[in-house]
Copies of this chain bind each other. A is one copy, B any other.
């Protein structure tokens, strides 16, 4: 009786929306192609036409499809996907070379005790103090990655909170005399949690690229643990492989990986066209407690 609802979003409709959106952006459904008819979609996805309709409504309001009564639904042109970044190992290294404006927003900064997992991965004593920071990287003003980093306290104190907002962490670490020697990366995928979704300006439940990287110095001790989440529409890993060895062993090596997917200029326009309000900004307020609540 006290409080009523919060948000509550459609479910099947929303999923279908995300799905179709993916197919369009990924080029799976070619530009200007005709989508299956509403009844057809309804049947294929085993939902009612009403639901299909809701999904299409959303797509239409994003400007991604065009609906012609009596004729059908068509993909609007210029949805070429994968607009932005790429690279394998050095991540953003050459972004700057390309003259794109990147930025960092520091979201959280604190000291915590290492969880068992963290300690193990960093090869530290469990319970050791770590400096934790959460940052969001922007490209041309648009967020594309959400970074949670853990650095041993003794190392972390060598730079200030402000430094973090301006300088890449690895550079900060090197300034303090540490030498990164090797690193390990694991790439996977996850769904966007509410916090991350808000920070990256995507919907909850969207697919995100995830990367976990642990950097070690020559002694073998871990000096940085990074958990990164990327918007796949703005960032993806890109690599060129060249064949090495003889025929028997099908073996490839990563060739130069600086091939960037060139930016799609249509994107600015597209993003402008699309209304993106329905996300409650809750970036910093991690508990999510609504002050207006009793």
Which residues in A have some Cβ–Cβ distance to B below 8 Å?
A: 6, 8-9, 11-12, 15, 18-19, 22-23, 26-28, 30-31, 43-47, 82, 86, 88-90, 93, 115-118, 168, 170-171, 174, 179-191, 193-194, 204-210, 230, 232, 236-243, 247, 250-255, 259, 261, 280, 287-290
With contact pairs A117-B27, A181-B242, A205-B205 given, residues A188 and B250 touching in the complex (Cβ less than 8 Å)? no
- Residue pair A232, B194 in contact (C-beta under 8 Å): no
A9 to B117, CA, bound (A): 32
A11 to B184, CA, bound (A): 36
Chain B nearest CB, measured from A276 CB (Å) = 19
- Residue pair B116, A191 in contact (C-beta under 8 Å): no
A192 to B44, CA, bound (A): 15
- Residue pair A22, B243 in contact (C-beta under 8 Å): no
Partner of A252, one of B90, B205, B253: B90
In the assembled complex, which residues on chain B have CB atoms less than 8 Å from the CB atom of A189? 189-190, 207-210, 230, 232
A289 to B205, CA, bound (A): 28
- Residue pair B116, A183 in contact (C-beta under 8 Å): no
- Residue pair B182, A243 in contact (C-beta under 8 Å): yes
- Residue pair B185, A238 in contact (C-beta under 8 Å): yes
Chain B nearest CB, measured from A14 CB (Å) = 9
- Residue pair B89, A241 in contact (C-beta under 8 Å): yes
**A contact patch SS:** mixed
Complex: chain B residue closest to A193, CB-CB: B19
In the assembled complex, which residues on chain B have CB atoms less than 8 Å from the CB atom of A208? 189, 207
Q: How many copies does the complex hold?
A: 2
With contact pairs A26-B190, A241-B185, A288-B45 given, residues A89 and B254 touching in the complex (Cβ less than 8 Å)? yes
A253 to B209, CA, bound (A): 21
| Interface pairs (11), CB distance under 8 Å | A9-B11, A15-B191, A18-B205, A27-B115, A45-B194, A88-B254, A89-B239, A182-B243, A184-B239, A187-B187, A191-B206
With contact pairs A27-B118, A182-B255 given, residues A93 and B250 touching in the complex (Cβ less than 8 Å)? yes
Partner of A237, one of B18, B30, B186, B255: B186
In the assembled complex, which residues on chain B have CB atoms less than 8 Å from the CB atom of A190? 22, 26, 189, 207, 232
In the assembled complex, which residues on chain B have CB atoms less than 8 Å from the CB atom of A168? 250
- Residue pair B250, A186 in contact (C-beta under 8 Å): no
A252 to B243, CA, bound (A): 20
- Residue pair A174, B287 in contact (C-beta under 8 Å): no
In the assembled complex, which residues on chain B have CB atoms less than 8 Å from the CB atom of A207? 189-191, 207-208
With contact pairs A116-B27, A116-B30, A252-B183 given, residues A287 and B44 touching in the complex (Cβ less than 8 Å)? yes
